[in-house]
A and B are shown apart, each in its own frame.
Chain A
Amino acid sequence: MNLIENVSRRSFLKGMVSTGALVLGACYYPEILRADGLPKDTLADRATLHPNMFVGIDTDGTVQIVAHRSEMGTAIRTSLPLVVADELDADWKRVKIDQAIGDPRYGDQNTDGSHSIRSFYDVMRQAGASARFMLIQAAAQQWNVRPADCVTEPHVVIHRPSGRRLAYGDLAARAAKLPVPKKNQLQFKSPDQWRYIGKGMPSYDLADLCTGKAIYGMDARVDGMVYASIEHPPVFGGKVKSYDDKEALKVSGVRQTIAIDPFKPPPAFQPLGGIAVIADNTWSAFQGRKKLKVV
């Protein structure tokens, strides 16, 4: 079961695409994603709402593709949008990847288990193919010709008999007014028509990765932020009986210590217990942690 609906009149993607742009959202019921063989023991597997994938096309032709999975080094935030771009027949150079923040509308975004492609490949293809379908419909309407006589090349719809061409950006506003096709109306590319899938494309983030601009979890910086280092119990699930932080608090830059309760079983993704040393910088937190006396 699946449902794709036109969300262009909603504020789902506030600020992501300009007014009048074509926005598609692909919403899927949980059962389609609960593929056989997936583990059922994580919060992700038990989630009732599953991720959405969005594609937006600006009137200037910029294609915005939301990456709703977390990047952890496999280039998943490149791979899934590439699938969308292929079925959309978008020019990859004009695609911008918009990394989704954590938001319930995307469902559980816990990116683990090596199943992002397996679980979302069809979803991505539908999201891209739906947009392409609507762009073709819009072009056919504008030319007053049959959609079946129209084909696409990257970022452009072509009326084959006459050779007329319309760019995706110029079609976005008209396409946004059309109904979203049902899955059985969609025409997917055959593998020999793929431009990106299976072609060994470089990561969208390649330049950032080579210039130190890529932001990893540890690189996140917010105003007024402090740094913590946590002394965990030496045994999994262990509990701190008592601790003495007098010496730790004397370390330059250390602000305070906080005891963290151990998790209540089952552990799942709950934090381990211990003592957190909070400081003005990582180094001070490390030094303070060494001075803790924990029993």
Chain B
Amino acid sequence: MIQIKINGVQQTFNGDSEMPLLWYLRDELKLTGTKFGCGIALCGACTVHKNGEAIRSCVVAMRDLSGAEITTIEGLESKGLHPVQQAWMRANVPQCGYCQPGQIMQAAAFLKNQKKPTDEQIDEAMSGNICRCGTYQRIRAAIKMAAEGSV
């Protein structure tokens, strides 16, 4: 039995403890904003926050999450939009949008620790989040907007 907090709500997990968090979120809690991309932590589509840090939920087993606090795209901001989401809208970042919940969660965690990132720091922090539509320039612009508070 695993106790875990998801978006502020205490949950008890009784299933296969080897199961990655991603499938618990998507299939059991129906939090489908977190996406399945590669299943091996290479694309970033499944990024969520564990105790405030960005993790790839497709490779983190439930047994390693006892007592953890998880935040998904659905819980990033309880009221309205998070500044990163506002910046994403202002910069019109998404095309198909499939990778964007992961991109946004990665960027939100990054900006907590890096208030004034350079292009190089942005590229490094975001290099594990792949976008097949190629929205990287807009992602970078949105992160700068969010960092500058110009949203």
Question: A residues engaging B (CB < 8 A)?
Answer: 72-75, 202-203, 205-207, 209-216, 218-219, 221, 227, 252-253, 280-284, 286
Contact = CB atoms under 8 A, between A and B. Distances in A.
Given A202-B92, A211-B85, A212-B74, A282 B97 contact: no
Given A73-B133, A212-B73, A218-B32, 15 more contacts: A73-B95, A73-B98, A75-B95, A205-B97, A210-B85, A211-B73, A211-B81, A212-B34, A212-B72, A212-B101, A227-B27, A281-B27, A281-B28, A283-B19, A283-B23
19 contacts: A202-B89, A203-B94, A205-B97, A206-B89, A209-B94, A212-B32, A212-B33, A212-B72, A212-B74, A213-B33, A219-B26, A219-B32, A221-B30, A280-B27, A281-B15, A281-B28, A282-B36, A283-B16, A284-B16
Interface in B74-107: 74, 81, 85, 88-89, 92-98, 100-101, 104
Contacts of B31: 212
Interface of B is mostly: loop
B20 interface: yes
A206 B92 contact: yes
Chain B interface residue count: which class?
Answer: 20 to 34
- Name, among A210, A211, A219, the residue most crowded by chain B CB atoms within 10 Å (CB to CB): A210
Nearest to A209: B97
A74 B96 CA distance: 6
A209 B100 contact: yes
